[in-house]
Amino acid sequence: MQAAAGRVDQGRALIESGNFGRALLSGVTDPNMPQRQTSLIVDPPDGQLPALTAEGKKRALEMGSSWALPGEDPIYENALDFDFWDNCRSRGMPSSMMPYRYNGGFQILQAPGVVVFNLEMIHDARIIYTDGRPSLGGAIKEYMGESRGHWEGNTLVVVTTNYKEGPPLINLAVPGSPAGNRFPVSDKMKTTERVTRLNNDSWLYEIKTEDPTVLTRPFTVRYPMRNNPQYEWWEYGCHEGNTIIQNYSQTNKHEREHPPEEPAVTKAQVSPELANQLAGRWSGKPGVPTVDYNIFLEFTKNPDGTVQGKLIGTDLKTFRGRVNPTINKALRTFRVTGRNVAFELPNTQPWTFNGNLSEDGTTITGTLNSAQGGVPVTFRKG
């Protein structure tokens, strides 16, 4: 708390000094509210997202995403090959109500019979009627759902149904989210929120999410919100002048038609025993909680005592049922130090692996890492 009290808003300080370019680069990360809470999730008690149903995992595989899974080479042909967040349609629910790394402004507006939750990122506005009007019924569905609110003392309770399928339930701008940005929702999802004003400086926010089609059980998020009347809210122009989607698609198409030259094959000098243990085919299932698939590797023993590896492919199907082609590309920066094995997968979005070969040479256990975080994986021989 003492450290937080002495913290300055770096972006604001740079603006005041006239360094606007640096402010743009460093001021997009909102200062966090210091607390002892180690997970936003308070139920289940372990603080983890519940497992997906078989139908949920099937839907996750069919989702478009801008974020590649380990071993995947995404195909970007148009805006719909990207996820809802990156092509500026919506962050969806309950993701929109989670603390974000940046642009996380949340404004509450009130008028007789209505409350508005105004969201900075992607400028969504949730209209919550509190005048007792009935639901519109299931014929009309919305990405942010249809909300009805009532008061229990000084707590606003908001029940939202009639969700339209499409946006992810949670996404990577929320720390701790699963890799791949593939977390589907169904039109059976229901959220129940409770917002309590604690004092002049903070609210207590809670949201329970139920989706029997996708989730094996409900989960509840609860955390304090800081009231900051000095927060500056600039226009979130997500579409205007945005050429990123177009550039991604054009570049991806060009690289598929004109594959870039692969870097030189890296070989690792190892003992004859290690060479024999590594040589052969290996498969591993990345520990991504929303998607089940395997990665296939092959290590080859060379006459000069070195070993090299390649990514054969995956059994992952890409968006819209496209099947990933056989890859057969050399592992990059491949090295073996003792029984430690490290490499980078040869895909368009970097995933690096670091792990250890077991004494009996039957498993390589470690972690795949990227900008999305770490994913555990155990490769097994055969």
* CATH architecture of structural domain 268-381: Beta Barrel (2.40)
Alpha helical stretches, state H, the chain = 2-5, 10-16, 20-26, 54-61, 244-257, 272-278
CA angle 4, 5, 6 (to 5 degrees): 90
- Can you say how many angstroms the Cα of residue 342 is from the centroid of all Cα atoms in its chain? 24
Per residue in 301-358, pLDDT tens? 999 999 999 999 998 865 555 666 678 999 999 999 999 999 999 998 899 999 999 9
The residue among 8 and 130 whose pLDDT is bigger is 130
Q: What is the model's pLDDT at position 3?
A: 77
pTM, two decimal places: 0.88
Closest-CA residue to 93 (of 65, 119, 59): 119
C-alpha to C-alpha distances, 247 to 74, 131, 227, 240, nearest whole angstrom = 14, 47, 39, 15
Separation of alpha carbons 315 and 331, rounded Å: 18
pLDDT exceeds 90 at position 294: yes
Q: What is the model's pLDDT at position 112?
A: 96
Q: How confident is residue 77, by pLDDT bands cut at 50, 70 and 90? A: confident
**What are the extents of the domains in the chain?**
36-227+241-249, 268-381
Separation of alpha carbons 161 and 135, rounded Å: 9
How many residues in the chain? 382
